Amino acid sequence: MRADRLVAVLLLMQSRGRVTAADLARELEVSVATARRDLEALSTAGIPVYPQPGRGGGWSLVGGARTDLSGLSSAEAQALFLLVGPAAAVSGEARAALRKLVRALPQTFRAEAEAAASATMIDPTRWGERDRPRPPLVELLQTAVVRRVKVRLTYRDRGERMIDPWGLVDKDDVWYLIAGTDRGQRTFRVDRIISAEPTEEPAERPDDFTLAEAWETVVGQVEQKRSRTWATVLVESRFLWVLQDHFGRHCEIEAELADGRTRVRLAAPTPRDLARNLAGWGSMIDVLDPPSVRAELGRIGAELVSRYGGARQDVQ
């Protein structure tokens, strides 16, 4: 759900008192199904909107038609900003909507709401994984970030440690926690955290810390490791999207050729990693360089021929 549309839904509900999904669909120029999903998402996130079934029914916002959002409790305001905040990291329109929403909140809630909005961000570029369930510890860690309290954390194969939680990043359904430790800033994959226990001890965070800048540094370090080897390949243009989907930011288009193929550059940590990812394409791609990747492909091909070259193929 787009953050600017979420703000519009709330303000419409406050100005009218009660709306239907059809009303919202007309006002926001979206489908009725989209409007209904927006309302349900608000309710699921903890915002006090509720449906009234039957003739003359619709959706209402607890607290009445108030444009200053003072009908929201502190916890409800945090829930709203945890929902809308991540979108602001990738959308200028969302950032503008977020600023408007902050100004609409009661003064006493603004600091907590802004903390919630900056607790999480979204990085839509994949690192090769997708469709993973949201780890159950995400909500607990979000709360610790907003409250700025230390967390006693047990990480896979690393034992227990005390950390200062600074922010969470959702990288296409893979969640990461950026935190301060006794050894400086560290990044933890949330699905590898065995347990996390918030304490009442105040967490420390650098005054100049911003989640977006910290994550940019993390991405730069990871990408440097993941892109140590580059290969130039030719692929039929109609299959280019497959390479782009698989390699993500490690697929760079160089030129579209007159013969219907596209020359692209692909990256992976080692020549063997690249060869393993490309071997299944067979003659559908042509690896131009480097020789190390071509040699690995030849080795893989020879192994396959040695093992399966004499296999009998039954034709039904």
Res 145: pLDDT: 86
Q: What burial class does residue 148 get, using C-beta atoms within 10 Å of its C-beta: 0-12 exposed, 13-18 middle, 19+ buried? A: middle
Res 295: pLDDT: 94
Per CATH, 138-209 and 227-307 having the same topology is answered: no
Q: 252: Cβ–Cβ under 8 A, 6 or more apart, which residues?
A: 264, 265, 266
Q: Which CATH number does 227-307 carry?
A: 3.30.70
Give the predicted TM-score (pTM) of the model: 0.47
Six token digits for residue 115: 């903390």
Q: Which CATH number does 3-117 carry?
A: 1.10.10
Res 67: pLDDT: 40
End-to-end Cα distance, the chain: 50
Six token digits for residue 230: 């580059």
Q: Structurally, what CATH architecture does the domain formed by 138-209 represent?
A: Roll (2.30)
Beta strand spans in the chain (E): 18-19, 49-52, 58-61, 120-122, 149-155, 159-171, 174-181, 184-189, 193-202, 229-236, 251-256, 261-268, 285-289
Res 165: pLDDT: 93
Domain ranges of the chain: 3-117, 138-209, 227-307
Q: What is the pLDDT along the chain (316 residues), one digit of tens a residue?
A: 455 566 667 766 766 667 888 888 887 778 888 888 888 777 766 667 777 776 667 887 665 434 445 455 555 555 555 555 554 444 455 455 555 555 555 555 556 555 655 555 556 555 555 555 677 888 889 888 888 899 999 998 778 899 999 988 887 678 899 999 988 999 999 999 999 999 999 999 888 888 888 888 888 777 777 677 889 999 999 999 998 888 887 889 999 999 999 999 998 888 998 999 899 898 899 999 999 999 999 999 999 888 887 766 554 5
Decide if 243 contacts 266 (C-beta within 8 A).
Answer: yes
Res 250: pLDDT: 84
Decide if 86 contacts 170 (C-beta within 8 A).
Answer: yes
